[in-house]
Amino acid sequence: MTIDPTTLSLEQKAALLSGRDFWTTKPIDDAGVPSIVLTDGPHGIRCQEAGQDHLGIHGSRPATCFPPAVAVGSSWDPDVAARLGAAVGREARAFGVAVVLGPGVNIKRSPLCGRNFEYYSEDPLLSGVLGAAHVNALQAEGPGASVKHFAANNQETERMRVSADVDERTLREIYLPAFERVVRDADPATVMCSYNKVNGVYASHNRWLLTDVLREDWGFRGAVVSDWGAVSDRVAGVLAGMDLEMPGSGGATDAQVVEAVRAGRLDEALVDQSVRRVVALTALPYEPTGNLDVEGHHALARELAAESVVLLKNDGEVLPVRPGTRLAVIGAFATAPRFQGGGSSHINTTRTDLPLEEIRTLAGKRDVTVTHAEGFTVDDEGDADDLRAGAVRTARDADVAVVFAGLGDRQESEGFDRDTLLLPDDQVAVIREVAAVAPRTVVVLSHGGVVSLEGWHDDVDAVVEGFLLGQAGGGALADVLFGVVNPSGHLAETIPLRLEDNPSWLNFPGEQGHVRYGEGVLVGYRYYATAGVPVRYPFGHGLSYTSFATTGLEVEATGDDRAVVRVTVANTGDRAGKHVVQLYVSTDTGPVRRPLRELRAFTKVALGPGETRTVELVLDRRAFAYWDVERGEWVVPAGLYAVQICHNAYEVSAQATITLTGDPVVRELTLDSTVGDWFSHPAVGPVLTERMRTGMTEEHARQAAENPDGLKMVESMPMRQFLAFTNGAIAPDTLEQLMPLSTTPVPAK
Ligand code: BGC
């Protein structure tokens, strides 16, 4: 519904701007405004009835736990995100939920962030495309989404008060674009502001973030909701454009809003604006349907999970498991799987697939015998030596041992960050001892944030990266192990060799209330590839049971600094599979330092054996642009750009170059501009050189001839100082005369 706020009293209006309780808004019966339910999200519905909390402590009604964002990120498939979003939307309808809190599109800045399982990637394009697909599909079912946590919420340590100190170029190029894409492409009903401060100002009352950028630059039309308990100053929040405070404050902050308006400290028009946005949420078509398709959604969860599994290593084609194999299944996660993260996104599942059972079901049809040993416990109960010895005995009698390893709920969760990438010691010992006796060893990993593979990677034949796959993950892993599904996931984040190699390492998680994003735009692969740091597996890596070839790269500049890229993909193996075409752009033109390459487009292609398809990818201006802090806008510098088709962020398989005209810029010169600025200016530089040459005294000409590199030494000196030091090398009125010439636009270089 829409509402004319002038028909409400100031008290009624203020009441609409905060929750009634944990999950609902206040109704205004006189005005016919209903109460609505907002609840988590993102990969399933956490609908609480009795005890209410935002940490996943109390129970909730059973719902399907779909694969969390860490898995969806690895699918590199907007279709997976969309099918998941639509199913979550349908379940929201079943429960009468108006707004589902999610998806989270924050960037994985550090592999230690406890909430990385709830985020897609270290890359903003991948995160934004998947987030937009999720939101579009969810909202097409009726309910609204809440894209979160806006912004720069990249750690759990001190998340409620730390200041993320990030320069504007880095915000615009890395931490904001996923939100921007979701806003522009999917029109989310709400955006959830984060707990933390951004450059010293709480996100919940950061007007630059919530109004200047979100609404004015990007055109956001929905309501901003606070993260649960993120409001520290409600009146400042209304001034900044933060519409709905959740959960409620028992009326305390409503009274502050009323008082501020009466005292003339808050314009009532701003209250009215927020009221309209909050009331608009009540018009979302979320009417309860009462139908939860338990079976259908479980099957869908399995399918989506299998699309997200990443095959990291498969020496000697140990996978898929061949008929007749004696298989030893080892590890606590085979019978007590870890498939979702802890905290506010925790779903009370409708059912849960156990990997061991699912393996037994598929093995039965393939003449594969299965033995099992627990190997280790996740909760440190039991005798580690005994358990390991049992695993070794079981592995010795098998052809292939599959070890299910990973992190438990106590090792990672919302609310805290990890301090190590290592797997627990007892698990590493089991992997190593099993690998020493089993003819072939496969490790299957379940965890939310990246774990180190060092110390055991080279001992094993195959590594299957499952991350967290949702309630049907057990079935999905069995499907991949037996080749029912050909793996097609790719890493959405780098697996480093050492934690210390990560670019945020020196500045994570900050100190004394501040975390400095000192690595700037060089986040994840943008840093590793630029600095040539060896990694275990790069961003974008992922294997298949078939093989693909990419040929015939063509890049066509389509004018206005845009391009169309065509490439032909062939499935050169003997089974159907899916390939991700990854397109990166690389350049060193322009006035700012660019990462070695940046992902600018991707698409996933399904191909039967021997099948070939030509795909077309569009590169718009933003694919070539950087954020120019002086001009406060996106700028495409003139020059040469390489368009690269890559296997992953490190390996280029084909490259073509284009030259772009770039944006004209005005490089206006003053006496504070440097000597270098003056001489390199395309319009002024040549004239100045000529005037200097002809107007030089004999003494100056002799000095210049003796010291041809002299100009280099003074390039960074402001012209004002240069004039003073050189005492007449350039006549000041020459510069005065040339200044107007510098106001004509020139290509950005
Ligand atoms: C989390 C949000 C969540 C909210 C409600 C907060 O603690 O940061 O992601 O949606 O609680 O549970």
Interval between CA 299 and ligand 1 midpoint (Å): 28
Triad 575, 581, 586: Cα angle to 5°: 150
Interval between CA 268 and ligand 1 midpoint (Å): 29
**Spatial distance between the Cα atoms of 623 and 456, rounded to a whole number of angstroms:** 39
Instruction: Evaluate whether 114 touches 416 at the Cβ level (below 8 Å).
Output: yes
Interval between CA 344 and ligand 1 midpoint (Å): 5
Q: Give the active site residue among 77, 123, 165, 227.
A: 227
In the predicted model, what is the mean pLDDT of residues 623-646? Answer: 96
Please report the pLDDT score of residue 380 as a whole number. 81
- Percent above pLDDT 90 for the chain: 89
Which of 168, 150, 171 has its CA nearest to residue 220? 150
Interval between CA 307 and ligand 1 midpoint (Å): 27
228 C-beta closer than 6 A to ligand 1: yes
pLDDT of 56 strictly over 90: no
Instruction: Evaluate whether 661 touches 743 at the Cβ level (below 8 Å).
Output: no
Domains within the chain, CATH numbers bracketed = 304-535 (3.40.50.1700), 548-664 (2.60.40.10), 675-747 (no CATH)
**Which segments of 457-530 are extended strands (E)?**
462-465, 495-496, 514-516
Out of 98-107, 341-350, 609-618, 691-700, which region has the weakest mean confidence (pLDDT)? 691-700
148 C-beta closer than 6 A to ligand 1: yes
Please report the pLDDT score of residue 221 as a whole number. 97
Instruction: Tally the residues of the chain.
Output: 749
Instruction: Evaluate whether 191 touches 184 at the Cβ level (below 8 Å).
Output: no
Please report the pLDDT score of residue 733 as a whole number. 87
Which atom of ligand 1 is nearest to 46's Cα?
12
User: Residues 145-200: pLDDT tens digits?
Assistant: 999 999 999 999 999 999 999 999 999 999 999 999 999 999 999 999 999 999 99
User: Residues 64-94: pLDDT tens digits?
Assistant: 999 999 999 999 999 999 999 999 999 999 9
In the predicted model, what is the mean pLDDT of residues 617-637? Answer: 97
User: Residues 464-512: pLDDT tens digits?
Assistant: 999 999 999 999 999 999 999 999 999 999 999 999 999 999 999 999 9
Interval between CA 21 and ligand 1 midpoint (Å): 14
Q: Name the residue of 119, 191, 227 to mutate for ligand 1: max ligand atoms within 8 A of Cβ.
A: 227
Per-residue pLDDT band at 662 (split at 50, 70, 90): very high
227 C-beta closer than 6 A to ligand 1: yes
Per-residue pLDDT band at 652 (split at 50, 70, 90): very high
Q: How far is CA 402 from CA 188, 196, 341, 464, 537, in A?
A: 43, 42, 23, 10, 21
**Residue at 103: amino acid letter:** P
Which atom of ligand 1 is nearest to 102's Cα?
10
Give the residue, by CA position, lying nearest to ligand 1 atom 8. 227
Instruction: Evaluate whether 237 touches 207 at the Cβ level (below 8 Å).
Output: no
584 C-beta closer than 6 A to ligand 1: no
**Pairing, β 440-446 against β 400-406:** parallel
pTM of the model: 0.96
Out of 177-191, 589-603, 665-679, 686-700, which region has the weakest mean confidence (pLDDT)? 686-700
Interval between CA 122 and ligand 1 midpoint (Å): 21
Per-residue pLDDT band at 667 (split at 50, 70, 90): confident
Which of 215, 209, 217 has its CA nearest to residue 237? 209
Out of 35-39, 58-62, 173-177, 701-705, which region has the weakest mean confidence (pLDDT)? 701-705
93 C-beta closer than 6 A to ligand 1: no
156 C-beta closer than 6 A to ligand 1: no
Per-residue pLDDT band at 703 (split at 50, 70, 90): confident
Per-residue pLDDT band at 749 (split at 50, 70, 90): low
User: Residues 329-379: pLDDT tens digits?
Assistant: 999 999 999 999 999 999 999 999 999 999 999 999 999 999 999 999 998
Q: Which residues of 124-141 are buried (b: 16+ CB within 10 A; e: fewer)?
A: bbbbbbbbbbbbbbbbeb
**Pairing, β 626-628 against β 612-619:** unpaired
Can you name the residues that pair with 39 across neighbouring β-strands?
A: 100
Confirm whether 419 is a catalytic residue.
no
Which atom of ligand 1 is nearest to 344's Cα?
12
In the predicted model, what is the mean pLDDT of residues 687-713? Answer: 79
Helix axes 473-481, 355-364, angle to 10 degrees: 40
- The overall average pLDDT reported for the chain is 95
- Percent above pLDDT 70 for the chain: 99
Q: What is the CA radius of gyration of the chain?
A: 29
User: Residues 138-152: pLDDT tens digits?
Assistant: 999 999 999 999 999
User: Residues 542-599: pLDDT tens digits?
Assistant: 999 999 999 999 999 998 899 999 999 999 999 999 999 999 999 999 999 999 999 9
The sign of the CA dihedral 11, 13, 15, 18 is negative
23 C-beta closer than 6 A to ligand 1: no
In the predicted model, what is the mean pLDDT of residues 121-135? Answer: 99
Q: Name the residue of 24, 118, 161, 344 to mutate for ligand 1: max ligand atoms within 8 A of Cβ.
A: 344
